[in-house]
Structure 1
Amino acid sequence: MPHPFTPVASVPVDPRTARVHEEGWQSWSPSGSYALGDTPHRPTNPNWATVCYRPGVPVPEGTFQGEGLLALAPKGDEGPVWLFAAADPQSEVPSIRLVARDGRAEVTADGKVDHWTYPGPGGIQGALADWADTLGLAAPRPAPTVWCSWYEYFTSVTEDDIHENLRAMDTLDLPVDVVQIDDGYQKALGDWLSLSGRFRSRAGIAEVIRARGRRAGIWTAPFLVDPSSALAAEHPEWLVRDETGGFTHAGRNWGHDLYVLDTTHPDAAAYLTEVFTTLRAEGYDYFKVDFLYAGALDGVRHASVDAITAYRQGIELIRSAIGPEAYLLGCGAPILPSIGLFDAMRVSPDTAPHRRPEADDYSQPGQDPAEFTGVGRQWQHGRLWVNDPDCLMARPAVETRERWAAHVEATGGLMASSDRLLSLDTWGVETTRRLLTKGAEASE
């Protein structure tokens, strides 16, 4: 049963200048600052509400809501900032609501929340950064520079595509540390060790990458299971159930429904360990783990633990399997429950070759939503992890590529290219080289 919302604070505000920061639930959930008269970004259909927002906690109209964090600047840029934060963000993330009426902001929450005022400087971003500093985390390891197959090839990537771009990196003299194979190499979500027909050998391509002096990286969505996969057919007991006895629904993507792997089941945990120890043994030492929201969905699991505990245990299992030296990038991940678990974190929705997102939903791929939330989460960079603003796309076919490149560069975070490198024109090559060089220098 959901917890009731109870009063936390009543703060006088200037309706003309006050601003509110909503912290979204996961990487793709819109996060940023709004004026009191603004309408915050919300899901435009039930599927995206599950896949990109916090399911089960819909936001009433006329209400601001932060998931574990909400900041209020009652007078805008002038004066102190009120910060409302989960008391124990790694185990419980209450939803925090704010409603402005009659010159006051009424703040409520459905769990334990600490709140205090931050005098400045730096406004809302400064207040959030100050909160992050109180967590006492070690400084994150610098990120390597990356080439990623996704934004050019998507799920149609082939082993030959990887070979072509490896050669192009040498020809164009690009300082790429990691060559990351994204979605498309595997037979099905969940069947991570079975190859699609487009790849001949994971170990073989990793060996080629390393022989060229670069590191091998690979993508997985470790908590998602395709209903048509061998895993789902052979081990339905490894899947999270709902209260009716059916399978917990993780939304719909790739044209089909998705299930959730129950990593609290000993055999499922052993399988996931096998997946990551195998990939590590094959030479991969950079892991992008994606669609992680699924691991924190409510459901009936083998062990009687809450969803956040199950999620953190699942990530810790992966980290144990890949070892402390491997680099771990999270994506589609619940933000506060991920604190202390990752080297780098995607802090925005996906970018895209286009600016505007589908149906004007700011959780969907597009440069505008990626910029909005990436800027809103800049305070996390260097404190919680290295921020991943998503990949540079510099080929001529990309809309407003100059503006997107400027955003990626300004973040100072993980620098990754995701073009077919031979498709780049002079501007594209020079911009890609410059940003990767900047990323390489930051990692030294």
Structure 2
Amino acid sequence: MPHPFTPVATVPVDVSTARVHEEGWQSWSPSGAYALGDKPYRPTNDNWATVCYRPGVTVPEGTFQGEGLLALDPGDGTPVRLWAAPEPTRAVPSIRLTVEGGTAEISADGPVKEFTGTDIQMVLGEWASSLAVEAPRPAPTVWCSWYEYFTAVTEDDIHENLRAMDTLDLPIDVVQIDDGYQKALGDWLTLSGRFRSRAGIADAIRARGRRAGIWTAPFLVDPASDLAAEHPDWLVKDLDGGFLHAGRNWGHDLSVLDTTHPEAAAYLTEVFRTLRAEGYDYFKVDFLYAGALEGVRHGSVDALQAYRAGIELIREAIGSEAYLLGCGAPLLASVGLFDAMRVSPDTAPHRRPEADDYSQPGQDPAEFTGAGRQWQHGRFWVNDPDCLMARPAVETRERWAAHVEATGGLMASSDRLLSLDQWGVETTRRLLAGIDIEGADR
């Protein structure tokens, strides 16, 4: 049952200059600062509310809301105020702000602590540092198949780009195979018809002196998969006894793997141990919001405990030396678990997203939320601003490249490399040469 909102603070504000930072629930949830007269970004349909925002949470009109974190610059020269979850890896309260006249009223549905500072980004960074997370390792440079080939990627596409990296002399550490190699969501070890051998590709990548990376969505299950047909007891249930609905994507309704079920946990361990043994040591784990959805699980743990336990299971299976990148993840509940984290919605070859929903793919929403979460970089993890796309067909590619470069975060190319013109090759090479998490040249 939802907890009631109780008053936290009353703050005088200058309504013409005050700003509010909303922290979204997960990687794709819009996050950033608004003027009091702005209309914050909200889901434009029920499906995106489940897939990209905090499910089950409807924010009243005229209300700002942060998930576990909300900051207010009163705009009158008084200190910035920040309200945050005391233990965000255990509980993430929703925090609301409404304005009446020249007064802001703050309320929350769980305990919060208050912090102050001189500006919003500074107080956010100081709060992040107070959690004393171990400093993240520098990220490798990456080539990723997704934004050129999407789910139609083939084994031959990977080999072509692997050769092109040498031809173009690109400083790429990791070659990451994205969605499309597997038969279905959940059937991670069964190949699609476009791939012949995962181990063979990993061997070819490593033979050229690069590292092999691979994508999974470990908590999602396609109801048409072999896993769903053979092991329906491995899926999270809803309160009515049916399968928990994790939204719709890839043209399918999606179910959730119950990693508190011992056999499902053993299966997930087998998947990641197998991939690791085949030579993969860079793992992008995506659509992680599904592991934190409220539902009926085999184990008597809450959703955030189940989520963290599932990620810890993956980490144990791949080992401490492998690099782990999260995406679509409930952010504050993920602190301390990842090497790198996507901190924005997907980018795209276009600027504006579908229906102006800033959780949806587009360069504008990726820039808005990526900039709003820059304070997390180097404190919680290496920020992943999403991939560089430098091919001529990409709209405003120069502006997108400038955003990716300015973050100083994970640098990943996602073009068919032989399609790059001179500007694309030079920009890709320059950004991949990169800067580390301290901002110093490599």
Q: TM-score range by the shorter chain?
A: over 0.9
Aligned residue number for residue 300 of structure 1 = 296
Partner of 2:397: 401
How far is 1:260 from its partner? 0.2
**Matched residue, 2:51:** 51
Structure 2 match to 1:102: 101
Cα distance, 1:442 vs structure 2: 5.9
Deviates more, 1:109-118 or 1:306-315: 109-118
> What residue ranges of structure 2 are gaps of 5+ in the alignment?
none
Give the whole-Å Cα distance in 1 for the aligned partners of 2:268 and 2:239: 25
Any conservation in 1 of the 2:115–2:123 contact (CA below 8 Å)? no
Cα distance change on mapping 1:215 and 1:442 into 2, 3 Å: farther
Query: Residue 89 of structure 1 aligns to which amino acid in structure 2?
Result: P
Which amino acid is 1:61 matched to?
E
1:405, 1:222 → 2: CA distance? 30
In structure 2, what is the equivalent of residue 354 of structure 1? 350
Letter in 1 for 2:395: E
The residue identity in structure 2 corresponding to 1:12 is: P
Asked if the contact 2:21/2:70 (under 8 Å) is kept, the reply is yes
Deviation per residue, 1:344-397 (Å, 9 max, x gap):
000000000000000000000000000000000000000000000000000000
Distance 2:22 2:347 in 1: 20
Matched, 1:280 2:276: yes
Q: Distance in 1 between matches of 2:75 and 2:406?
A: 27
Quick one: structure 1 residues 301 and 135, their matched pair in 2 at CA, closer, same or farther if it must change by over 3 Å? same
Structure 1 letter corresponding to 2:248: R
The question of whether the paired residues in 2 share the 8 Å contact of 1:144 and 1:443 is answered with no
Cα displacement (A) at 1:116 = 2.6
Matches within 5 A, 1:317-396: 317-396=313-392
Unaligned runs of 5+ in 1: none
User: Kindly tell me: are residues 38 and 65 of structure 1, through their superposed partners in 2, closer, same or farther at Cα, counting changes over 3 Å?
Assistant: same
How far residue 79 of structure 1 moved from its aligned partner, in angstroms, is 3.7
Show the counterpart of 1:429.
Answer: 425
Instruction: Please tell me whether the aligned partners of residues 220 and 288 of structure 1 are also in contact (alpha carbons under 8 angstroms).
Output: yes
Q: Secondary structure at the match of 1:240?
A: coil
- How far apart are 1:309 and its partner, in Å? 0.3
Q: Secondary structure at the match of 1:90?
A: coil
Q: Does 1:90 align with 2:89?
A: yes
Q: Which residue of 2 aligns with 1:19?
A: 19
Q: Is the 8 A contact 1:145 1:439 kept in 2?
A: no
TM-superposed deviation, 1:114: 0.8
Q: CA RMSD in A?
A: 1.0
Amino acid at match of 2:123: A
Q: CA deviation at 1:69?
A: 0.2
> Which residue of the other structure, out of 200, 206, 210, is the alignment partner of 2:202?
206
CA contact (8 A) 1:142 1:442 kept: no
Contact persistence 2:213–2:284 (CA under 8 A): yes
The CA deviation at 1:439 is 4.5
The answer (yes or no) to whether the contact 2:115–2:127 under 8 Å persists in 1 is no
User: How much does 1:102 deviate?
Assistant: 1.6
Give the 3 Å change call, closer, same or farther, for CA 442–247 of structure 1 in structure 2: farther
TM-score, normalization by structure 2: 0.98
Partner residue in 1 for 2:61: 61
Shift of 1:80: 1.3
Structure 2 distance, partners of 1:231, 1:23, is: 35
Contact in 1 for aligned 2:179/2:216 (Cα 8 Å): yes
Describe the superposition over 1:50-79 as per-residue Cα deviations: whole angstroms up to 9, x where unpaired.
000001111000000000000000017x44
* Aligned equivalent of 2:287: 291
Q: CA deviation at 1:137?
A: 1.1
Residue aligned with 1:279, SS:
helix
User: Structure 1, residues 173-222: CA drift from partner, whole Å, max 9, x if none?
Assistant: 00000000000000000000000000000000000000000000000000
**Which of residues 156, 159, 168 in structure 1 aligns to 2:155?**
159
Q: Secondary structure at the match of 2:434?
A: helix
Q: Equivalent of 1:234, from 230, 248, 263?
A: 230
| Matched positions, count | 440
Q: Cα deviations across residues 68-109 of structure 1 (Å, max 9, x unaligned)?
A: 000000017x44110000011000000000001121110000
Partner of 1:4: 4
Q: Which runs of 4+ in 1 moved over 3 A?
A: 439-444
One-letter code aligned to 1:275: V
Distance 1:439 1:167, change over 3 A: farther
1:132 matched residue in structure 2: 128
CA distance in 2, matches of 1:116, 1:331: 28
CA spacing shift, 1:439–1:148, aligned 2, 3 Å: farther
Q: CA deviation at 1:115?
A: 1.1
Amino acid at match of 2:122: G
Residues 13-72 of structure 1: CA distance to partner in whole angstroms, max 9, x if unpaired? Answer: 100100000000000000000000000000000000000000111100000000000000
Partners of 1:90 and 1:336 within 8 A in 2: yes
Q: CA deviation at 1:138?
A: 1.2
Q: Which amino acid aligns with 1:24?
A: G
SS in 2 for 1:33: strand
**Match runs of 1:218-233 below 5 Å:** 218-233=214-229
For residue 438 of structure 1, report the CA deviation from its aligned partner.
1.6
Q: 1:443 to 1:207 in 2, by over 3 A?
A: farther
Corresponding residue for 2:28? 28
